[in-house]
Amino acid sequence: MSGIELASTVTRSWVRLYTRRLDADIRGARIAEIESDLWEHRRETEEAGVEPSDAGLQVLARCLAGMPADLAWRSGTAAGARASRRREPMNDVIRRSWWLGPAVLVGLFDVMLFVGQLTDFFGLIEEEPRVGTRLVASAAWLLFAVCIAVGIALRNRRPQRAGLLVIVGSLPAVLLFWMVVPPFLGVAAIVGAIHHMTTAPSPTQVPA
């Protein structure tokens, strides 16, 4: 084995050592880049007629002199990857649970209509003959709000049932299309609930 071959082998071993346990893409890129550098260096020294032993010393010197920077790079890269992993669970939570926001708002809207109907009921009881209608409407809005609340509460244990409850509770808000915001929130809650039903792990997969 010539001097440059030996130095190249030492350099390759060093690169494989300091890139161990890094992300496969980052590791592969660094190994490939050093491999290209070694090849170019070898070709340059061959074309210049440099003795293989001298060329080997050049490669070895480049490898040894760069070791502190290699370790610093590894440390920074590994820290970046750790920070990225720490951010991932939060991203997952947001991706999985974004629909809770619109669902809660639609639930509050249902409660508001329930109270509104009830208030009108008490305010107009002397003049308004349709007492039963208002009472039924009021009870219906309360039922829709309860559906959403129960759906949210069951989202992890019974994702399918929870999704259906949220859809049932949000659908009436969608029908009030002239109010713009509640229907928009209702659609968002329904889309989120469907997504939850199709992507949530089954109850056996959820840790107790």
Partner 1 sequence: MLIPIEAAILQCAVDLQRRGEPEFHGFFIAKELRDRDEARRLTAHGTLYKALDRLEKAGFVQSRWEDPEAAASEGRPRRRLYQVTGLGERVAAESRRASPAPLPKPRLEPA
Determine if 35 is a binding residue for partner 1 (CB under 8 A). Answer: yes
Q: Judged by CB under 8 A, which stretch of 2-10, 67-75, 107-115, 179-187 contacts partner 1?
A: 67-75
* Residue position matching structure tokens 């010197």: 61
Angle CA 152–140–147, to nearest 5? 10
Rg (CA), the chain: 33
Determine if 70 is a binding residue for partner 1 (CB under 8 A). Answer: yes
Q: Is 129 buried (19+), middle (13-18) or exposed (0-12) by CB count in 10 A?
A: exposed
Determine if 61 is a binding residue for partner 1 (CB under 8 A). Answer: yes
Give the nearer residue to partner 1 in terms of CB position, either 36 or 84.
36
Exposure string (b/e) for 164-203, b if CB count within 10 Å is 16 or more? Answer: bbbbbbbbbbbeeeeeeebbbbbbbbbebbeebbeebeee
CB 110 within 8 A of CB 148: yes
Smallest distance from partner 1 to CB 17, Å: 13
Determine if 36 is a binding residue for partner 1 (CB under 8 A). Answer: yes
* Distance separating alpha carbons of residues 163 and 79, to the nearest angstrom: 39
State the DSSP code for 124: S
Q: Judged by CB under 8 A, which stretch of 30-38, 113-121, 178-186, 188-196 contacts partner 1?
A: 30-38
* Distance separating alpha carbons of residues 102 and 110, to the nearest angstrom: 12
Determine if 33 is a binding residue for partner 1 (CB under 8 A). Answer: yes
Determine if 11 is a binding residue for partner 1 (CB under 8 A). Answer: yes
DSSP string of 29-53? HHHHHHHHHHHHHHHHHHHTT--HH
Give the nearer residue to partner 1 in terms of CB position, either 12 or 158.
12
Give the nearer residue to partner 1 in terms of CB position, either 69 or 90.
69
Give the nearer residue to partner 1 in terms of CB position, either 40 or 128.
40
Smallest distance from partner 1 to CB 73, Å: 4
Give the nearer residue to partner 1 in terms of CB position, either 7 or 148.
7
Q: Judged by CB under 8 A, which stretch of 2-10, 34-42, 118-126, 163-171 contacts partner 1?
A: 34-42
List residues binding partner 1 (CB under 8 A).
11, 29-30, 32-37, 39-41, 43-44, 58, 61-73
